[in-house]
């Protein structure tokens, strides 16, 4: 069986920003001829929309077959060359690269006996390491300072500075251990919150999270976090914990504290924006849960105006901005506005690499938007696209909601003959997944009653009964995160559109001062 060509190099070149591609062309000057096959291959890969190995070979070798390992060696060399150019590119911007570069230069100068120059570079490195809390680098710098004094037999320096250096070394180790401890706790809580059974309505997850955070003295006081980086992890961990355990007021408060903490040290944000993007996204969610809609719109706009540092930042800002905007529009009933934004979102998505952009994360929201606009066929198309994705694409806790929404859509489309078999299929799926809870069971019984109802009067009576039962059903508030089932039931009772009902509900809430 022929080996499938690797698209590793294609994916790397495709992921480069315009600035990185320009830098690569500058970087290779003097390393290879302008007409070289390396540059030809790079340019071809940069312009290919989909990976086509045969086309690449044909254009580079003018239709002639390359001999032996010639082409694979060409790809391997180009891959290494692109990586080296990216390393050189990042050295201009990354603090970690600057520190590494300074310490490597110290090694080079030390071997050649330029000890005064080593000391100058260590002084520069120490200043950067302190400013950016690079505790590992601080330990390396202190080690080098002691090594230099020992090599030069500078006993006076050691007499004056040894105690101070050892104190700084101990401090750096303590800060490093402290930060590492909070980092460990953060990933434990993050993993516990987002593991596959995270959406199950059981006490096991809450108990696990309480054991990880609620009973840990490290989270009893922010002063236990001894550095800026550790305090960021302290609040990020608490923020996830409060959300996962439905302590929404604390979720909101910890999110605001975290945002202000990050903004208090802007030089860190110039180095890494990922934590700030996550913080704003969670703060937007917390505002929605607390019904602080004026604040929500402020933070949503703040997220939208962020200038990304990396391509990953750009994807995250895009994804978090639009997903939160669509959720807000679905809540306020601004479905037509959401549909226009949906088109804009899809246009922007074309600029992202297909391998890295997760379109599926929007399918369920697109379904709700089209449903709100009365476009049930398009809504069903998006729902089916979502349902056909591997379950790793989206959290399992939305599976129940998707099954309910599917039945609602088929009812709206008048597919009464299909509803009975679809409801049986949904029941089997939910039972198999251990998700056949009170709400799901009651709703499927409701669908069966709708199928049997002989006329409009009887249908309206069934809708009223389901709406009356809804508040008492276990899991109602936590399950239906995306679709407002209560508003849909109310719209059928009143005989008006779903969008009009959601808008009425929102206007009443806005008038009440929420």
What is the DSSP code string of 10-63? Answer: HHHHHH--HHHHHHHHHHTBTTB-TT-HHHHHHHHHHH-SS--HHHHHHHHTTT
Tell whether the torsion through CA atoms of 331, 332, 333 and 335 is positive or negative.
negative
Helices (H), 333-482: 335-349, 360-372, 376-387, 399-412, 416-432, 438-452, 456-469, 476-479
Q: Are 13 and 82 in contact (CB under 8 A)?
A: yes
Between CA 25 and CA 43 the distance in angstroms is 10
CA 402 → CA 407, 414, 479, distances in Å? Answer: 9, 18, 10
SS3 434: coil
3-state secondary structure of 152: coil
Q: What is the DSSP string of 382-406?
A: HHHHHHTS-GGGS-GGGHHHHHHHH
Q: What's CA 493's distance to the chain center, in Å?
A: 39
Contact between 491 and 497 (Cβ < 8 Å)? yes
Q: How does pLDDT run along the chain (514 residues), one tens digit per residue?
A: 345 567 899 989 888 888 888 889 888 876 655 457 888 899 999 888 888 888 888 888 886 777 657 888 888 989 999 999 998 888 777 899 899 999 999 999 999 999 999 999 999 999 999 999 999 999 999 999 999 999 999 888 888 889 999 999 999 999 999 999 999 999 999 988 765 444 444 566 777 788 788 777 899 999 999 999 999 999 999 999 999 888 999 999 999 999 999 999 999 999 999 999 999 999 999 998 888 999 999 999 999 999 998 888 999 999 999 999 999 999 999 999 999 999 999 999 988 876 667 787 799 999 999 999 999 999 999 999 988 877 554 456 677 788 889 999 999 999 988 999 999 999 998 888 888 888 889 999 999 999 999 889 999 999 999 999 888 875 554 445 678 899 999 999 999 999 999 999 998 887 765 5
Cβ atoms < 10 Å from Cβ of 31: 12
Cα(25)–Cα(29) distance, rounded to whole angstroms?
A: 7
pTM here? Answer: 0.81
- Residue 125 burial (10 A CB sphere; 0-12, 13-18, 19+): buried
> What whole-number distance in Å separates Cα of residue 282 and Cα of residue 240?
9
Based on its alpha-carbon atoms, the radius of gyration of the chain, rounded to whole angstroms, reads 29
What is d(CA 349, CA 354) in angstroms, rounded to the nearest whole number? 9
| Measured distance CA(388)–CA(416) in Å, rounded | 23
End-to-end CA distance of the chain: 65
Q: What is the pLDDT of residues 6-65, one digit of tens each?
A: 789 998 988 888 888 888 988 887 665 545 788 889 999 988 888 888 888 888 888 677
The closest of 242, 247, 255, 253 to 213, measured between CA atoms, is: 242
CA 475, chain centre distance (Å)? 26
Q: How far apart are CA 294 and CA 431, in angstroms?
A: 41
User: What are 93-129's pLDDT values in tens digits?
Assistant: 789 989 999 999 999 999 999 999 999 999 999 999 9
Which residues, listed in sequence order, are joined to residue 32 by a DSSP beta bridge?
A: 29
CB 254 within 8 A of CB 219: no
């Amino acid at each position: 069986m022929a080996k499938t060509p690797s698209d590793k190099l294609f994916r790397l070149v495709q992921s480069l920003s315009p600035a990185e591609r320009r830098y690569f062309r500058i970087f290779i000057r003097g390393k290879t001829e302008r007409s070289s096959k390396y540059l030809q291959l790079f340019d071809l890969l940069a312009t290919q929309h989909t990976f086509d190995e045969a086309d690449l070979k044909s254009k580079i070798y003018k239709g002639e077959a390359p001999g032996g390992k010639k082409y694979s060696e060409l790809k391997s060399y180009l891959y290494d060359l692109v990586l080296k150019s990216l390393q050189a590119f990042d050295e201009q911007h990354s603090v970690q690269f600057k520190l590494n570069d300074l310490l490597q230069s110290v090694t080079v100068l030390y071997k050649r006996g330029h000890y005064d120059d080593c000391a100058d570079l260590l002084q520069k490195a120490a200043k950067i390491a302190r400013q950016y809390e690079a505790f590992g680098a601080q330990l390396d710098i202190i080690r080098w300072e002691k090594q230099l004094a020992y090599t030069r037999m500078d006993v006076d320096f050691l007499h004056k500075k040894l105690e101070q250096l050892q104190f700084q070394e101990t401090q750096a180790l303590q800060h490093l251990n402290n930060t590492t401890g909070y980092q460990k706790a953060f990933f434990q809580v993050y993993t516990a919150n987002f593991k596959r059974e995270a959406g199950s309505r059981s006490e096991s997850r809450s108990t696990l999270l309480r054991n990880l955070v609620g009973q840990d003295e490290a989270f009893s006081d922010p002063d236990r976090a001894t550095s800026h980086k550790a305090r960021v992890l302290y609040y990020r961990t608490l923020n996830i914990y409060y959300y996962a355990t439905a302590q929404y007021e604390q979720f909101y408060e910890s999110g605001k504290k975290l945002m202000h903490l990050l903004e208090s040290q802007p030089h860190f944000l110039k180095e890494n924006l990922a934590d700030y993007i996550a913080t704003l996204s969670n703060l937007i969610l917390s505002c929605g849960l607390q019904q602080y809609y004026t604040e929500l719109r402020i933070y949503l706009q703040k997220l939208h105006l962020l200038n990304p540092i990396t391509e990953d930042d750009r994807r995250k800002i895009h994804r978090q901005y639009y997903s939160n905007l669509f959720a807000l529009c679905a809540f306020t009933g601004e479905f037509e506005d959401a549909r226009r934004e949906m088109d804009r979102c899809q246009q922007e998505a074309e600029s992202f690499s297909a391998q890295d952009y997760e379109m599926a994360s929007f399918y369920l929201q697109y379904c709700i938007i089209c449903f709100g606009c009365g476009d049930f066929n398009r809504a069903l198309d998006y729902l089916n696209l979502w349902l056909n994705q591997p379950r790793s694409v989206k959290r399992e806790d939305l599976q129940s909601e998707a099954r309910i929404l599917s039945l609602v859509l088929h009812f709206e489309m008048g597919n009464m003959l299909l509803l009975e078999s679809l409801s049986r299929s949904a029941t089997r799926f939910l039972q198999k997944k251990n998700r056949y809870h009170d709400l799901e069971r009651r709703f499927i019984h409701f669908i069966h009653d709708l199928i049997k109802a002989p006329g409009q009067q009887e249908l309206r009576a069934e809708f009223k009964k389901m709406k009356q039962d809804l508040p008492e059903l276990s899991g109602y508030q936590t399950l239906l995160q995306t679709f407002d089932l209560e508003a849909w039931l109310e719209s059928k009772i009143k005989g008006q559109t779903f969008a009009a009902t959601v808008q009425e509900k929102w206007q009443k809430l806005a008038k009440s001062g929420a």
